[in-house]
């Protein structure tokens, strides 16, 4: 294993990378950042997109029309869209490939956590080939599995999952073949196998693994700057409340709603419009968690299982011969002990519930046939009531 964090000049005493860290990639590289999920992908994508106009001056391009080219990558990996969304088409992927080719001699960065969902080696090989083949260098960002588990569970709930956290952990960690109800989890987060899959496609010399140190909040940004040959601090975090994780109470409220939604056979398109892009999005944009909110806690048995998997992962990644930036021991590090005791039940604040309900109502008014043409969180309650009242009167007239 080649590592950039094994010598005193490369690391601080707490494992954070120093400016002497990774050597920049060759000019003209196609840097393929494959995530996986919950490893800082959104922050990197936001920073790169915000700096998009400045990057060409340093020989770098971020060829994407939005922060995250999700539709294009879902199409490339033959994956459907999120529940209720339209299915991505090959046209989305072709457009992104054309933009990468247009970068010419510039180093181009393509970042999406959904590349980790590539179903087989053939798909990964096709993606690499279409992005240029030899110039493609694969970058994998990793966090400890024990930190990924709660974050990924609440994300699955945001896409319709109805299973509680401990029950889900039982299925992921104790019930072979560990594929139900979320078969994508281990494809993404058995990190050693993810690295090995892409090594088989491009070779170990064209794969870099970055172990994210959560204690070093700007460390991932600085690592990307060094790999790309960018000036220090050019990449800056962009606030994105829409990407924050849900609290336990928010997740449980949504999970209960998912049960009702599925139990009554409502269409997926309605879930996409009213729940994920209505209630949940508005709630995340308008409500910030406080120190009083109960966090999602992983039981001790699952912590032990996750850290054991992390230790084995570090060993196998070391044997793969890839370059590793950061401290692989972090992959098996146990989380710090919990602080104050937490109540047995997490209760949703009335204000949060009200914002979620408002978001769903505003999504109705702003949807097809509605009279609003602005984002949910920018719609006044007065205008929302007026629009909904008008629509109710119209229905009464029809009857």
pLDDT tier for residue 379 given thresholds of 50, 70 and 90: low
Indicate whether 177 belongs to any domain.
Answer: no
Indicate whether 152 belongs to any domain.
Answer: no
Instruction: For residues 187 and 278, state if they share a domain.
Output: no
Indicate whether 176 belongs to any domain.
Answer: no
Q: What is the pLDDT of residue 19?
A: 44
Give the residue-averaged pLDDT of 53-61. Answer: 98
Instruction: For residues 186 and 325, state if they share a domain.
Output: yes
Residue at which a domain ends, from 281, 311, 332: 332
**Containing structural domain, residue 128:** 2-145+182-241+300-332
Instruction: For residues 382 and 359, state if they share a domain.
Output: yes
Q: What is the pLDDT of residue 4?
A: 60
Q: What is the pLDDT of residue 12?
A: 39
How many structural domains are present in the chain? 2
Instruction: For residues 237 and 252, state if they share a domain.
Output: no
Q: What is the pLDDT of residue 242?
A: 75
Instruction: For residues 140 and 200, state if they share a domain.
Output: yes
Lowest mean pLDDT among 231-245, 268-282, 334-348: 334-348
Which residue, among 279, 272, 269, 276, has the nearest Cα to 360 in the 3D structure? 279
Q: What is the pLDDT of residue 226?
A: 97
Instruction: For residues 59 and 204, state if they share a domain.
Output: yes
Instruction: For residues 56 and 15, state if they share a domain.
Output: yes
84-124 confidence digits (pLDDT tens): 888 899 999 999 999 999 999 999 999 999 999 999 999 99
Instruction: For residues 118 and 203, state if they share a domain.
Output: yes
Instruction: For residues 219 and 274, state if they share a domain.
Output: no
Instruction: For residues 78 and 25, state if they share a domain.
Output: yes
Indicate whether 36 belongs to any domain.
Answer: yes
- Which one has a higher pLDDT value, 292 or 304? 304
126-171 confidence digits (pLDDT tens): 999 999 999 999 999 999 999 999 999 999 999 999 999 999 999 9
CATH number at residue 52: 3.40.50
Instruction: For residues 111 and 80, state if they share a domain.
Output: yes
pLDDT tier for residue 16 given thresholds of 50, 70 and 90: very low
Instruction: For residues 58 and 97, state if they share a domain.
Output: yes
Indicate whether 351 belongs to any domain.
Answer: yes
Tell me the pTM. 0.85
Give the residue-averaged pLDDT of 19-28. Answer: 81
């Amino acid at each position: 294993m080649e590592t950039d964090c094994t010598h005193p000049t490369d690391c601080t005493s707490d494992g954070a990378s120093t400016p002497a860290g990774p050597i920049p990639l060759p000019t003209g590289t196609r840097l393929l950042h494959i995530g996986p999920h919950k490893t800082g992908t959104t922050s990197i994508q936001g920073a790169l997109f915000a700096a998009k106009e400045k990057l060409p001056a340093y020989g770098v391009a971020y060829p994407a029309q939005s922060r995250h080219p999700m539709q294009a990558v879902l199409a490339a990996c033959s994956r459907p869209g999120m529940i209720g969304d339209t299915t991505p088409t090959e046209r989305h992927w072709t457009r992104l490939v054309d933009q990468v080719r247009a970068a010419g001699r510039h180093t181009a960065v393509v970042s999406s956590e959904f590349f980790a969902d590539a179903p087989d080696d053939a798909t990964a090989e096709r993606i690499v080939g279409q992005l240029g083949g030899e110039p493609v260098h694969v970058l994998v960002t990793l966090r400890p599995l024990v930190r990924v588990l709660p974050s990924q569970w609440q994300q699955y709930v945001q896409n319709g999952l109805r299973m509680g956290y401990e029950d889900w952990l039982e299925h992921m960690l104790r019930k072979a073949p560990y594929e139900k109800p979320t078969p994508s989890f281990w494809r993404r987060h058995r990190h050693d196998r993810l690295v090995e899959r892409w090594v088989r496609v491009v070779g170990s010399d064209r794969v870099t693994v970055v172990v994210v140190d959560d204690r070093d909040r700007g460390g991932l940004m600085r690592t990307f700057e060094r790999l790309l040959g960018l000036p220090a601090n050019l990449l800056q975090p962009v606030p994105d409340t829409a990407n924050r994780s849900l609290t336990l109470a928010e997740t449980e409220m949504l999970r209960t709603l998912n049960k009702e939604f599925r139990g009554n056979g409502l269409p997926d398109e309605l879930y996409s419009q009213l729940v994920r892009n209505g209630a949940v999005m508005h709630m995340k944009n308008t409500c910030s968690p406080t120190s009083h909110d109960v966090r999602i806690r992983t039981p001790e048995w699952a912590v032990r299982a996750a850290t054991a998997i992390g230790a084995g992962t570090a060993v196998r990644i070391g044997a793969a011969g890839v370059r590793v930036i950061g401290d692989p021991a972090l992959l098996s590090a146990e989380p710090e002990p919990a602080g104050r005791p937490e109540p047995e039940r997490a209760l949703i604040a009335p204000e949060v519930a009200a914002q979620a309900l408002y978001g769903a109502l505003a999504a109705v008014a702003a949807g097809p046939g509605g009279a609003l043409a602005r984002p949910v969180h920018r719609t006044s309650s007065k205008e929302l009531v007026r629009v909904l009242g008008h629509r109710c009167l119209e229905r009464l007239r029809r009857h």
